[in-house]
A = this chain, B = another copy of it.
Amino acid sequence: MTQRNIKMTVAYDGTAFLGWQTQAKGQRTVQDTIASGIEQLVGHEVNIIVSGRTDTGVHAEGQVINFTTTSAIPAQSFALAVQKFLPFDIKILDSTEVDLAFHSTFDAKQKLYRYKIYNRRSLLPQLRHHVCHIWQTLNFEKMQQAATVLVGEHDFASFKSNNGNRVKSTIRTIYQCALRREGDFIILDVEGSGFLYNMVRNIAGTLIEIGQGIHSKSMQEILDAKTRSAAGKRSCAAGLTLMHVTY
């Protein structure tokens, strides 16, 4: 039987999942839920490769996965066929057949994350799982200026999680780090070659503290310090969405 490599774009609401990857048995994870759906369809075990894991409560509008299968189902029919075995909080947006050499983790060139801050006195309950609520007045211009400092190739050691795995290098390239206002929302788009564990939430948390005027250092000083304690607190998971992966 011929092996085929299927690539899928996936959206999910991270609220009711304990993140992407199973750490212990009995946890509801996105990976296990999708794998189980595909396995019911194709009738054999599958090993899902992902562009990158997302944490508990983090969402995706354009996560990319791939897996090999011996199934003869037409590539474009996979999306709809798998959907029948999936719960409402996961949606397969499309499916295509790719070269057997394609690997969604290693071949990822760029990732775009969006972080949503809801900046109003009271949090609307309907938004509670999908934004980070900041009730204090934020100095938006100061946040915007600070964000631009991060664009380019830098050592992002200050934004590296203390809990993350050891990484060889903390140097990454950020192509875009832009804030915009949309009504009561402040939207942060960060696009980069790759990200350290929790890097986007650490950047968002730092920008929020700069906007609140409670951070003593400038973004340049924080970046230069190359130590986690120089930056702000990690912001909440609910505000974060993986939007797009470029290959």
For A125, give its contact among B88, B124, B125 (CB under 8 Å).
Answer: B88
Residues of B within 8 A of A125 (CB): 11-13, 88-91
The main secondary structure of chain A at its interface with chain B is: mixed
A73 at the interface (CB under 8 A from B): no
Question: A77 to nearest B CB, angstroms?
Answer: 15
- Chain B nearest CB: distance from A241 CB in Å? 8
B88 A126 Cβ-Cβ under 8 A: no
- Docked Cα-Cα span, A13 to B90, in Å, equals 21
Say yes or no for A191: interface residue by CB 8 A criterion.
no
Residues of B near A201 (CB, < 8 A) are: none
Q: Are B126 and A59 in contact (CB under 8 A)?
A: yes
A122 at the interface (CB under 8 A from B): yes
Is A61 at the interface (CB under 8 A from chain B)? yes
Q: Which residues of B contact A13 (CB under 8 A)?
A: 124-126, 128
Name the CB-closest residue of B to A90: B125
Q: Does A100 contact B (CB under 8 A)?
A: no
**Residue in chain B with minimal CB distance to A15:** B126
Q: State whether A11 touches B126 (Cβ < 8 A).
A: yes
* Known A88-B125, A93-B122, A126-B241; further 5 A-B contacts with Cβ < 8 A: A11-B125, A61-B124, A90-B125, A91-B123, A91-B125
**Closest 9 A-B residue pairs measured CB to CB?**
A13-B126, A13-B125, A89-B125, A91-B125, A93-B122, A11-B124, A59-B126, A91-B122, A12-B125
